Amino acid sequence: MTSARPFVPGAEAVPTAAPARITMVGVTKTFVTPRARVDALGPVSLEVAEGEFVVLAGPSGCGKTTLLNLIAGFEPPSDGEILVDGKPVTGPGPDRVMIFQEPALFPWLNVLDNVAFGLRQHAHLSAAERRAIAEHQLELVHLEGFARAFVHELSGGMKQRAALARALATAPRALLCDEPFGSLDALTRERLYAEIQELHSRTRRTVLFVTHNTREAACLADRVLVLTARPARIKRVITVDLPRPRDFYDARVSVLAGRILAELRSEITENRGRNDERDQAGD
């Protein structure tokens, strides 16, 4: 068993390839609706290494979710190319899993069945094997005591942990996280920072993680990409070399968070004038 698949009990259970390398070359996205034409993204060129944890921070509405949706294959780019290990993305695939701000769990299934659900696509697995993998994933996110609970019986943080377990159960090569902790209270979030760092160091999946929280960005990232206002382009790349696991309240995390915040503030200030002009022009 290699380090790329340590969390699957029984090495042959779910075939796990190495984490994904994601490449974007000159990617843009423009939405055209009957009422407007919105340049939402780019051009963005980007290379995310295998197992890298990249955080995307940018002003509200700049195009962060759009960027994740394109990599997930939910939408095609207007221009440019998105590649996973050199192969063009042509649609969604089991190698890339999205985690949303509001955990998308099925209310009619208990927690264990929610986690096991995605494993049905692995036809070679028996029901007992699917269950064993799901139980193991629940242990990893410390939810083993809630396997039989239904979703409405969980707290917000527990729901998000269940969503994480479900995403990891299928052994995706990349996790696309869209403000996954955005709706959680501060204490729950802080616990999850430790858990997600531990999971990442254990599973080494490639992660793209969107957040508005600059301290969260500094705590989790190998690299922070600060994006411009819409259409999102990469304004600044900040490499985070701090040792792991990182404490959310570490002074070095605070200093970095301050730097990221300064970049974001300057982007919002610089852009205010531009947006005002556009609004006056009726754009």
**How far apart are the C-alpha atoms of 186 and 164, rounded to whole Å?**
18
Residue 163: strand, helix, or coil = helix
Binders in 34-53 for ligand ATP, by CB under 6 A: 38, 40
From ligand ATP, Mg ion, none, which one binds at residue 211 (CB under 5 to 8 Å depending on kind)? none
Of 14-22, 56-64, 80-88, 195-203, the segment contacting ligand ATP by CB under 6 A is 56-64
Q: How many residues bind ligand ATP (CB under 6 A)?
A: 13
Asked if 76 is part of the footprint of ligand ATP (rule: CB under 6 A), the reply reads: no
31 vs 249, which CB is nearer to ligand ATP? 31
**How far apart are the C-alpha atoms of 81 and 167, rounded to whole Å?**
25
In terms of phi and psi (left: phi > 0; alpha: psi -120 to 50; beta: otherwise), the region of 51 is left
Asked if 160 is part of the footprint of ligand ATP (rule: CB under 6 A), the reply reads: no
Sign for the CA dihedral angle at 108, 113, 115, 121 comes to negative
Read off the amino acid at residue 180. Answer: P
Asked if 214 is part of the footprint of Mg ion (rule: CB under 5 A), the reply reads: no
Asked if 235 is part of the footprint of ligand ATP (rule: CB under 6 A), the reply reads: no
From ligand ATP, Mg ion, none, which one binds at residue 189 (CB under 5 to 8 Å depending on kind)? none
58 vs 103, which CB is nearer to ligand ATP? 58
Give the DSSP letter of residue 232. Answer: B
Sign for the CA dihedral angle at 257, 259, 263, 266 comes to positive
Asked if 65 is part of the footprint of Mg ion (rule: CB under 5 A), the reply reads: yes
Using CB under 6 A, pick the residue from 65, 137, 160, 214 that binds ligand ATP. Answer: 65
Give the residue from 44, 53, 22 showing the smallest Cα distance to 202. 53
Q: How would DSSP label each residue in 82-113?
A: EEETTEEP-S--TTEEEE-SS----TTSBHHH
28 vs 65, which CB is nearer to Mg ion? 65
> Least distance from C-beta 136 to ligand ATP, angstroms?
33
Using CB under 6 A, pick the residue from 230, 233, 235, 246 that binds ligand ATP. Answer: 230
Residues that bind ligand ATP (CB under 6 A): 31, 33, 38, 40, 58, 60-66, 230
